[in-house]
Structure 1
Amino acid sequence: MTKTDRLPAKPIAEKLLPKLIKKIRIVNELNQEEFGQILEPPVTQSTVARWEKGEQNPDTIQFPKLAYLLDLSLEQFHQLHKSNCLSNLKDLSIQKKFLVPNRQHYRLLKRGAKVWNKWREKNPDIIPQLAGAKLETLALDGMNLDKADLRGVELRNLSCRNSFYRSANLQGAFISEVDFSNSQFRGANFSHGEICKSYFNQTDLKKANFEGVRASNIQMKNATCTEASFINANLDNVRVFGTLFRNTKFDGVRSSNIYICDCEDELPINDIKLAELTYLKRYASSQFEYFLQSLTLEKKLLDLANKLVDKFGNYNFANAVSEFCSEPNELHPSATIKIRKTKDLLIVKFDSQPASNSNGRTEIAEPKIILRKIGDVIESNFTATEVNESEKIAKLTQQIQSENVSKFIPIALKLIDLQGSKFCSNNYKLEKIDNSIILSSVAKIEVELMRVQIGSESNKIIRANLTKSCLTHFQEILLELLT
């Protein structure tokens, strides 16, 4: 009999400590023998039984461990022990500290996939409780472990191919030399675990959580990691040939020795975020160059569209919408471009000159959307010709509007000089605010057509969408006022 097993000389009359010990054990789902083994130093099952009956007190050497299990400091535990008041038990929030698998579930799992999957079919609402399980050198192929509680499991030297772990919780798991090839892990949680020497080839890891994971010497060939999270993960010696990383989160990830090709002598890269692009650059260089050219044209078109709609479009303050529409003219009759911009949306439509068919009839096609930006996502479907035509329209628009503004400003200043800081006529409102001349259309809703800052040496166009008819209208008004 050890020192910690000895019986006291007289019975103990305490009430709190026996109930406290039993509650800690029950919350952690441990039997008396298992509970005795987690203590420091360990004690026998019979000793734990005597503690719970109040026939014996734990040695003070056990107090630090008991305090830890209660989330109390040693001093707080001593005060609780000294109070010996059962009412204090109600104020304690005892949390589960040890992960222990359900014994029935654990035994069923070890009987193989056929028995396990049949049990799951009969009990679809039961979540397998396998947290803390230690599994080694088993064939677990084809297992249905969807939604299973696998927190803190230790998986070593296992075959788990063609299995299902969708939405399973593997938080804090230790995984070594396990083959998960062709398995389903959609929505599974691997966070803060450790994975080494394992295979995830052709697995579905969509929306899987690898946050804070330490992973080394693993293969993820042709896996799907769409919308997965590798935030703050630490990855080394990982093979990702053919792996999809769409909308994958890599914030704070640390990676090294990432292999992107299915060959033995390739040079690895150190940034997993660049895996797919680097593969294209190395092994599909002509496609990559074409992609870069297309990306350059897309950026050019986006810049042109923003310039046209912001500087040469109408602005509706009520709806916060800018619109631009070019019109065919004698200098550029071949195409028009229409742009609409809101806070989160930009749409560019291109309309080429109507073509004639073999019968000589004009065919009018619907305007083609060549670029769309929704939030941060940019979509495009353009030809190099359409970008070049758009650039010509932008240059011509700037030329025309500069000329119209230079003609309109003297008229506007004269009208304001004659009528005051605000002048209204038919469907227009002209006003001067500080050093800016602003022209708006007020036919149905107020839309700003022009805003120009007047300078001592030159004027600065903030916005200008003046038509010839508008310019003629104000020329006639000024002539009428002066005669």
Structure 2
Amino acid sequence: MANLEQLALFQEDTILWNRWREENPQVRPDFAGVDFSGLDLRGHNFSGVDLTDANFRGGDLIKADFSEAILDEADLSNSDLIKTDFSNADLSNADLSESGTRESDLSGANLKEANLIGTDLAGANVIGANLSNADLIGANLEGASLVKANLSHADLSGANLSRASLIKTNLAGASLIGANLSGANLSGANLNGANLSGANLEGAVMPDGKVNQQSTQK
């Protein structure tokens, strides 16, 4: 249940709230289940906050700080998340579908079973993140860094992974049907059991370090 006193401070003054968060990093504010949908929350500091099942749908969260926050089952769909910091956050089962998440920081984040259908993650930092069993159908990951990320059994059907860095990424059992992996770096990646039917691998660096010359996998 949300802490009403902390929520009142948050709603009263952004500057005071951000300052309070900086001065009290050991405190984990409780905003579980709070409805923030459609609000302008650019640059707000949610670091370490418990936002379990919170609703941010359609909000403006550009450059907001969610580092180490708990966002389990939170709704961030259709939100503006450009350059937002989600490093080491728990986003398991969260809904980020159709959100604009370009150049965001998701390094070390837990996105297990998250909904990322149609999400724009171009240029995002997803290094070491856990996206196992996540739904990334049609997602845009062009130029994203997914080094050592766990994408085992994730659904990346139709996703754009062109020029993405997938070095030592775990893609075991993942669906990459019709995905665009042109120019991607898959050096040392685990593709055991992955489905690459119809995927574009032209110019991609394969797990063995060799550059693929074939445009489409059969």
1:254 counterpart residue number = 155
Q: 1:199 Cα shift?
A: 1.6
Question: Structure 1: how far apart are the matches of 2:71 and 2:118?
Answer: 19
Question: Structure 2: how far apart are the matches of 1:112 and 1:162?
Answer: 18
Whether the aligned pair in 2 keeps the contact of 1:164 and 1:183 (CA below 8 Å) is yes
2:176 counterpart residue number = 271
Partner of 1:118, secondary structure, is helix
1:143 counterpart residue number = 44
AA paired with 1:229? N
2:24 counterpart residue number = 123
> Taking structure 1 as reference, are residues 110 and 236 closer, same or farther at Cα in structure 2, changes over 3 Å only?
farther
**Number of matched pairs:** 184
Partner of 1:203, secondary structure, is coil
Q: 1:140 Cα shift?
A: 0.8
> Taking structure 1 as reference, are residues 178 and 227 closer, same or farther at Cα in structure 2, changes over 3 Å only?
same
From 230, 238, 251, the equivalent of 2:131 is: 230
1:108 counterpart residue number = 9
2:143 counterpart residue number = 242
Question: Structure 1: how far apart are the matches of 2:96 and 2:211?
Answer: 40
Whether the aligned pair in 1 keeps the contact of 2:183 and 2:205 (CA below 8 Å) is no
TM-score using structure 1 length: 0.35
Deviations 1:91-131 (A, max 9, x none): xxxxxxxxx21112222223353231022234333211111
Partner of 1:292, secondary structure, is coil
Q: 1:280 Cα shift?
A: 4.1
The structure richer in helix per residue is 1
AA paired with 2:66? Y
> Where does the alignment leave 5 or more consecutive residues of structure 2 unmatched?
164-174, 186-199, 213-218
Task: Say yes or no: does 1:161 pair with 2:71.
Answer: no
2:210 counterpart residue number = 292
Question: Structure 2: how far apart are the matches of 1:205 and 1:278?
Answer: 23
2:89 counterpart residue number = 188
RMSD, matched Cα: 2.7
The structure richer in strand per residue is 1
Whether the aligned pair in 1 keeps the contact of 2:117 and 2:136 (CA below 8 Å) is yes
AA paired with 1:192? N
Whether the aligned pair in 2 keeps the contact of 1:112 and 1:139 (CA below 8 Å) is no
Question: Structure 2: how far apart are the matches of 1:145 and 1:164?
Answer: 5
Whether the aligned pair in 1 keeps the contact of 2:161 and 2:184 (CA below 8 Å) is no
Q: 1:134 Cα shift?
A: 0.8
TM-score using structure 2 length: 0.74
Question: Structure 2: how far apart are the matches of 1:212 and 1:194?
Answer: 9
Higher relative contact order, structure no. (Cα contacts within 8 Å, ≥ 6 residues apart) = 2
2:101 counterpart residue number = 200
Q: 1:217 Cα shift?
A: 2.0
Aligned-pair identity (%): 22
Q: 1:284 Cα shift?
A: 7.4
AA paired with 1:131? A
Whether the aligned pair in 1 keeps the contact of 2:162 and 2:184 (CA below 8 Å) is no
Deviations 1:373-404 (A, max 9, x none): xxxxxxxxxxxxxxxxxxxxxxxxxxxxxxxx
Whether the aligned pair in 1 keeps the contact of 2:44 and 2:65 (CA below 8 Å) is yes
